[in-house]
Structure 1
Amino acid sequence: MWNGTWSLRVAPKVKHMLRRATNEAIPTLLNLWRRNVVSSVSCPRCNSACEYTIHALWICPVLMVIWEADEISKPFEPRLCSSSMISTRLRWLPPIPLSYKVNFDGAVFKELGAAGLGVVIRDSEGLVIGALAERIPIPNFAATVEALACRRAILFAKEMSIFEATFEGDAEMITNALKNGGTNHPEFDHVIQDSLVLASAFRFCNFSHVKRLGNLVAHYLAKINPVMSYKFGSSPFLMI
C-alpha cells in the first residue's frame, strides 16, 4: 500500500496527508474527543454526523460541492455524484468502527388508544445487536411519541451495556431539540431533558436525523403487533 502511495505523482504534502489519514493522525473532532480535548463530535459543517476521518475529508455533504467540481473526483464516480449523495442521505449507514447506531421510531394507534416504540441497535458491520417493539399509552401530542422512542432507545442501549452510540431517528423536530439541549415545547421538553440526562452517562453519544427510508427497521418495529411488546438482545427473543 505504502509503495503505491509514495509513488504517486503528487506533492509530498499530499502523500503525508494520506499517511496521516490512514493512521488516524488527523485532528478530527472524534480523534480530539478520544483524547478528552473536545466534548462534542458533531460535524460543525453539516451538523448531522460524527466528524471522523472519512467524513471530514470526503463524505460530508458540504464537501460534495468541492469534490464534484474537481477533476480528482472523477475516479470515485459514481460514488461521489449527486444522485449518490442523495441516496446516501436516504439509506441507513453503519456507525464508525467500535461504535453502535441505535435507530428509533414511534407509531400511533388511535383506535386502540396506544402508541408503539421501535428500537434497533446495530454495530459497525450492520449486525443487529438488539431490538425491541414496545406498546405504551398514547400521549396527547404525536411528537411526544418520537421523544419517548428516543428515551427508550437510550435506556435500551444502557441495558445492553452500550455506551458509545449514535442515536438516529426520522423526526427532525426531536433530533434538533436533542442537539440544541432542549425545547420550549410543553408537551415533550421534559422527555428531551430526561434523554439528555441519560445520554450524559455515555462515553460517546451523538444524535442524528435520517429520512424514513434510512429508518425502516425501527419504523416497522414501532408498527408491529400493537397489543404486545417484544425485546431481544443478549438473551433469546423474549416476550415481555
Structure 2
Amino acid sequence: MRPALWLKLWKAEVAPRCCETAWRACLNLLPVRALLHSRGVATDPLCPRCLAAPETHEHALFFCPFIKQVWFASPLGFRLHEECSVQEFFTEFLGAADCNGIGMFFSILYSVWQARNDLLFSAKQSSVDQILLRASSLRPSSNQLTAPHRHGREHVSSWRRPAAGIFKVNFDASLLQSHEAGFGFIARNKEGEVLAAATSTMGPVLSSVLAEALALRWALGLAKELGFRRIWVETDCLVLYNYWERREGGFSHLETVVKDCRLLLCSFDVFTFTFVRRTGNSVADALAKLAFRLGCLVWIEEAPLEVSSLIQDDVFASVASSL
C-alpha cells in the first residue's frame, strides 16, 4: 500500500490490537489454515466454520458465508460479492473512508478474527450480534497511543516492554577482524511476542561505531518496509546514542549515515531512541553474530531457534522489573 494508507491504518480510532491485526492481515501474516497447510503445519486447510473452502485470509475475514452476514449487518453495510485480495480491499476502503469509518472497519475485522479463534480453539460459536457487540467495545474514546518516556542518561540493564501499539525494535552490529559487519534486528510488541527478526551482513566497515550506525539505518529501513509506524528503537552503543543526542561530537564519519537515519524518521508517527546495556540487547547481539553464518534473512512472527531462550529471558526480565 502507499505510505499515506499505512498512515491511515495506524491512526485509526480503535484499540491498538485492532490495528495490529489489520496490519498482519494486510501483509498476509495471520495464521490461517490454508497458509499453515502450505507450510506443512496444518493437515486440514478448510475453513473451520463453513468447511466448504480453504481458509485463506480473504475467506476468513470477508468471504465465508457467515462472515458476509456480519459485514452486511454491521454499520458499514458491506455487500461482499466479488472476491479480491485483502490488500486490494484495504487499499480501496482506506482511500475513501475517514478515521471514524476506518476505526469501525478494523474493530469489526478484529472481532471477526477473534470469533474465528474462539471457534477453532474453544469450540465457541459467536452470533452476528455478539461479534458486532465486541467490535463496538473496542473503540473507547480514551484509548490513545502514547510513546514510551525518554530515559535520558538512565543506563537500563534489561529489556523493557513497549506501550500498547508501540513496536519495540532492538538492533546491534558485530564486527570481525576482517572488518566485515553483521547486523541483527528484533521487533516485539508489549507482550514480548516476536513480530519480526532479521540478520544481514556488510563489509568492510571502518569502525565498530560506524557499523552500529549502519545497523541503525538498516533497522529503520526494515521497520519502514514491514509497515511499523510507531517504534521505540534501542541500542547498546553509548557512543552512537550520545552522538544521536548531540551530547558528544568528533565522529564526522558517522554524520552521513546519521543524516540518512534522520531522513527516515518521517516514515514513523512515533519514534523514540534510547540506550540499554548489552544485557538488555542480548537478542539483537546474538542475531548480529549469527548473521555471519545465516547471511541476509528475515523471519516474520518468529526468530531463529538459537535466540529463543534469550527472547524468553527478556520477557521474564521485563516482568520482574515491573514488580
State the shift of 1:91 in Å: 1.1
Return the structure number with greater helix share: 2
**If each structure's strand is expressed as a fraction of its own residues, which one has the higher value?**
1
Q: Secondary structure at the match of 2:160?
A: coil
Other structure's SS at 1:119 match: strand
Q: Percent identity?
A: 25
The equivalent position to 1:109 in structure 2, one of 171, 176, 181, is 176
Unaligned runs of 5+ in 2: 1-139, 305-323
TM-score (norm 2): 0.45
Q: Could you report, residue by residue, the CA deviation over 1:41-61 in whole angstroms, capped at 9, with x for unpaired residues?
A: 754xx426xxxxxxxxxxxx7
* Partner of residue 119, structure 1: 185
- Hey, what's the Cα distance between the residues in 1 that align with 2:170 and 2:292? 19
Equivalent-residue separation in structure 2 for 1:202 and 1:181 (angstroms): 24
* Structure 1 counterpart of 2:58: none
For residue 151 of structure 1, what is the aligned residue in structure 2? 217
Question: In structure 1, what residue type is equivalent to 2:276?
Answer: V
- Pick from 210, 232, 236 the counterpart of residue 299 of structure 2: 232
Where do residues 106-185 of structure 1 align in structure 2 (5 Å cutoff)? 106-111=173-178, 113-180=179-246, 183-185=249-251
Residue type of the alignment partner of 2:164: P
- Contact 1:154–1:198, Cα closer than 8 Å, also in 2: yes
Which residue of structure 2 lines up, in the alignment, with residue 8 of structure 1?
A: none
Post-superposition CA distance 1:91-116 (Å, at most 9, x none): 111111111110000000124x4110
The residue aligned with 2:160 is: 93
Inter-partner Cα distance in structure 2 for 1:181 and 1:101: 24
The residue number in structure 1 matching 2:124 is none
The amino acid across from 1:108 in the alignment is: L
Residue 218 of structure 2 corresponds to residue 218 of structure 1: no
1:47 paired with 2:152, answer yes
SS in 1 for 2:196: strand
Q: Partners in 1 of 2:141 and 2:160 — Cα distance? A: 21
RMSD: 3.0
**Aligned residue pairs: how many?**
163
TM-score, normalised via structure 1 length = 0.60
Q: CA deviation at 1:159?
A: 1.1
After TM superposition, give the deviation of residue 134 of structure 1 in Å. 0.5
- Take 1:126 and 1:154, find their aligned partners in 2: how far apart are those partners? 20
